[in-house]
Amino acid sequence: MELCISIDEDNCNALYNSLIQDNNQDIEMECTNNKLIIKIINVKLSSIYNLVDDIIRDYETYKKVGEL
Going by pLDDT thresholds of 50, 70 and 90, the confidence category of residue 31 is very high
- CATH number, position 47: 3.30.310
Going by pLDDT thresholds of 50, 70 and 90, the confidence category of residue 50 is confident
Separation in Å, CA 30 to CA 4, 23, 35: 11, 12, 8
Q: What is the three-class DSSP state of 2? A: coil
Q: Is the pLDDT of residue 22 over 70?
A: no
Residues 6+ apart with CB under 8 A from 26: 40, 41, 42, 43
Q: State the residue range of the domain holding 8.
A: 3-67
Work out the average pLDDT over 29-42: 89
pTM of the complete model:
0.69
